[in-house]
Structure 1
Amino acid sequence: MEIARRAAGISPSPTLAIDAQAKAMKAKGIQVINFSAGEPDFDTPEHIKEAAVAALKAGFTRYTPVAGIPELRQAVCDCLKARGLSYEPADIVVSCGAKHSLYNAMQVLLNEGDEVILCAPYWVSYYEQVKLAGGVPVVVNTDAATDFKLTPDALKAALTPRTKLLILNSPCNPTGVVYSRSELEALAEVILAHDLMVISDEIYAALLYDGLNHTSIASLGPEIKERTIVIDGVSKTYAMTGWRIGYAAAPRAIATAMTDLQSHSTSNPTSIAQKAALAALTGSQEPVAAMRNEFARRRDRILTGLRELPGVECNQPGGAFYVFPFIGKLLGRRFRDRVLNNSTDVAAVLLQEYQVAVVPGVAFGTDPYLRLSYATSMEQIEAGLERLAAFVRELQ
């Protein structure tokens, strides 16, 4: 049997693969410190779970409209209005997670050979989803010196007559960087001048620190809004990763096309999860504030600990729940009889020898870095930092 080329060319998600390996080790009784998963360790807030239970008891278990129940789509509009974005429910498509929303958007936007600008380090699934839609990923590299941000000049240099789409992610996975309004305005000028489309992945918009404010590029004016698809969801903000509810806000024609596509793949997202998401968006936001405050506390601790490790450098993330330390000064050194040549080598040794799960930077298109998620307890962070320090001490 021959597998289709589009499937044979897919690389599995390295973040999910490492997380699965860490969880398998834990199931065997191994005490793994798991910094790999982009998943809050908090439970879903009680009022959200109660809404799901109520939906079950009411028999809300049948098909819904493909793009989501009307009241949830209206709630999304209301939430986006707080970001300075005006949409109607017909512009909203609710899907099975933000990843699904991204997939739908690329499927309806891209033709064979269309080029898509990705800013490295980028979230792992962007690259593969572009390829699945027939597009060509064009990677623009950034580094800690520029705070991992795409500049207008770098964007211009990457453009060709085949460029169709730019994917922006702020706050960013894996770096946690947050684009300012002025930085987005400068990028929007290039986007409009070259007739590009934009996917703005804003899944971490509620997780900002140090008094930073979120700006959506779609909020900068009607022209750029008509060229932007905003992606968000409830997974990260409300600790609802397993509920699988994401959404897209898009120009009407694109939203219609995404709905039509979804009608032939998943149909509607889970009915019960939609009711839970409605409760998340319309109910108390106090649990979100509490989680955000705890994430900020954890960020400060893991950042301090990493910066105390000889040879490790780390920029301060402004949002999300990741740190992305530079480990270039550790490469070329030996761990026992093994030379560490790249971030993959370092991640492998940490998991095998110290039971610390991290994601190598190469998974995000950038080396030599590691991604660590601080969406875990302070106790796990302290233990993980101790093991990382022991690892660095053993290097020759």
Structure 2
Amino acid sequence: MKRGEIKKRPMADTVLASLEADAKEYRELDGDGLYLRVKPDGSKSWQLRYKKPGGQWSWLGLGSYGKGEHQLTGEQARKKVRELRDATAKDGSLLATKQAKKTAEAEAANNTFEHLAREWYGTKRKTWSDGTAVRTIGALEKHVFPVLGKRPYTSITPMEWMQFLRDMEQTGIVEQTSRVRGMCREIYDLARVTGRATHNPLEGLHKFLLTKPVENFAHVSLDEFPALLRAIQAYPHAPDVRIGLRLLSMLACRPSELREASWKEFDLDTCQWLIPAERMKRRREHLVPLPTQAVALLRELHNLTGSYPLLFPGRGNTTKARSNTVFLMALRRLGYEGRQTGHGFRHLASTILNENGFDSQHVEAQLSHVKEGVRGVYDKSTYLEQRKVMMQWYADYLDKLAAGNVVELKRA
């Protein structure tokens, strides 16, 4: 249809669709300042003629004409114009409306849960080890942001958080659910103390969720421990992993502390291992006395990996430590899946040492479990001499357990 044949406005969609292009671009009035622009190539789009605050006339593009996605039919374009007219500034300018819309959109983006969570992460990141930082942001990006990240955080109700966390539980990751709940609760605390929220919707939800399982800290009974020690000594696969498991059982350190350790942290001549603050859970140096058995194992390991900076360099990239599941998978190969984890050795050490009369404060210092406050003022050498004696006794005790000739005798 030629533009001169139009008889009625607003134009029907049959007219809009059939309008032919001219050699030059033209605009055809539909009504109320709305125009259909037709280009020589036949493409069509909607434009609104409006007056700026200073009184000058200008054009505002509304979108292309059509019935597809991201296109506007005649009725849709007219509805959009009505919405713009209803929201105009007092002086009738649409430019003010556009600016207000951009401002509102920017404010909405800053009020999303993801934006708040990343702000919280930025404030906490400097106090965490690299591993903790990666695990934290990874959990948020994997579980929370895809579901609730784009929502304004003040609009998410306690019931919605409850349903979200229960859905996570249903996948079997109960411990991860507990960690995510703790993170999100802290994130809302940030909004609350900075005056951007009046309450925390995750407050009290833990009472109605599954409790954190002990599976990640699973450990064998004391009766089963000797057989486990013998199985580790006979581990038939990677020799560095065998040594790592023996060191874990002997030193009562966290698996990540050993797995990510570098050779520069060790002084084998003085039988000491100084773990730097950035790799410790509580972000403070920790000095570990090494029994003679541990020193011998470390010298054996040095023959295998001493040419690299790390004790347990990765297979593909030797500048990074081996996988965080390396010790857990080795225990599974030995038949201890669900019965023993790397972290579980710490519980066994604590139980045996306490039951054999060692001072609980010395045990707690060895495990780097230090109370906060004045009594918890920490020095890396706290009870070092006592711990040297204690850990040498423990290494000797494990040797006797593995050999099957332990005599039950409680220390005074």
Does the alignment reach a TM-score above 0.5?
Answer: no
Give the number of the structure with larger relative contact order, counting CA–CA contacts within 8 Å between residues 6 or more apart. 1
* TM-score tier after normalising by the smaller chain length: under 0.3
Bigger share in helix: 2
